[in-house]
Amino acid sequence: MKTSGKRRSGPLQEAFVAFARAIADPGPDGVPRGEKLEVLAPTPARADEARARLAGLGARVHEIPFGDIWMRDIAPIFVTSDAGDVAAASFAFNGWGGKYDLPGDAEVSMRVAAAAGLRTFRDELVLEGGSVEPDGEGTLLTTRQCLLNPNRNPGLPQAALERRLGEGLGAEKVLWLGDGLINDHTDGHVDTVARFVAPGVVVCMEPSGGGDPNATALKEIVRDLSAMRDARGRRLEVFTVPSPGVVTDPEGELMAASYVNFYVANTTVTVPVYGTPNDAPALKRIEKLFPGRRVFDVPARELLLGGGAFHCISQQQPAGGIRG
């Protein structure tokens, strides 16, 4: 996760603190019982602020410069071996196809890997973490709209890209969806439309009524996922939640709101909500998918103004390191 010096305080910071609290999951005695928090802050002043706001949650704050808050895309992707060793896979970052070139973002991946003290594998493939969704058993979900976009890796054909994903992330089978959500700044990141709940089990969104602006893309995603098999040969079991429907910014522009941009922590799941009638039914369905975890809903409209939600501003690191 990260704190940013570029966005408004108030509701956005409150959402960040609520998210951090859900991940740390303090018990009745106040002692955190969930994940350890590693938080980035771009300046000493913001680092001090983060420590104060997250007091009691066991957060360790790192002063690492960055341009904006999307840790999923600019941080390394942590990978594990069959033996349980953990390493950092650091990919190239080009500002989501050259749209947002902010100082520090391209360097965050290697700096976070160094702070983690892990063996790091550098790959010059342009790849954002939100553009791929692994199941942990060799299957990777993604979208053609993003990964085959010429603004990322021009001239690299699908077959070659699949080989690179196999080499860099251990993907044995890549499952391709089509388009993401309308007005998604990331060119259709998969983490806003489809997520693995468990190996062989995926959740996506269904249109919320006839006026859903993303109805066509969402129906195609449900149809495509239902016909797919994973790297182990299993036909995917597909669950759906309603989409948020129409969520707009202060100027009336449609935003790429998604309930499946949730974050799964060790003991909890944090789900973004937007103040629409679909918040409650979506939350109930997601709760059924994670019976072993408590599910929290946290307002994310302010965060969405920047283009994402809780999965976007986080990056999980498995416990452990490289042995020997």
Residue 270 placed within a domain: yes
Looking at residue 229, which CATH number applies to its domain? 3.75.10.10
Provide the 8-state DSSP code for 173.
Answer: E
Please state the length of the chain. 324
Kindly report, residue by residue over 50-83, the tens digit of the pLDDT. 999 999 999 999 999 999 899 999 999 999 988 8
Calpha distance 203→194 (Å, rounded):
6
Active site residue 312: yes
Q: Is residue 1 part of a domain?
A: no
Torsion of CA 234, 176, 71, 320, to 10 degrees: 30
Residues of the domain holding 225: 11-304
**Residue whose token pair is 């390394």:** 76
pLDDT grade for 319, boundaries at 50, 70 and 90:
confident
CA distances 261 to 171, 191, 200, 244, 268, Å, are 22, 6, 19, 12, 14
Q: Is the pLDDT score of 122 beyond 70?
A: yes
**Count of domains observed in the chain:** 1
pLDDT for 254-304, tens place per residue?
999 999 999 999 999 999 999 999 999 999 999 999 999 999 999 999 999
CA separation for the pair 58, 40 (Å, rounded): 14
Q: Is residue 134 a part of any domain in this protein?
A: yes
Residue 160 CB coordination number (10 Å): 12
- Residue 7 in this model has a pLDDT that exceeds 50: no
- Single out the catalytic residue among 312, 313, 315, 317: 312
Let me know if residue 321 belongs to a domain.
no
Residue whose C-alpha is closest to residue 26's, from 57, 1, 50, 52: 57
Indicate whether 226 belongs to any domain.
yes
Quick check: is 5 in a domain? Answer: no
Which amino acid belongs to residue 146?
C
Residue 319: inside a domain: no
Q: Considering only CA atoms, which of 157, 139, 153, 144 is closest in space to residue 193?
A: 144
pLDDT of residue 321: 55
Instruction: Indicate whether 2 belongs to any domain.
Output: no
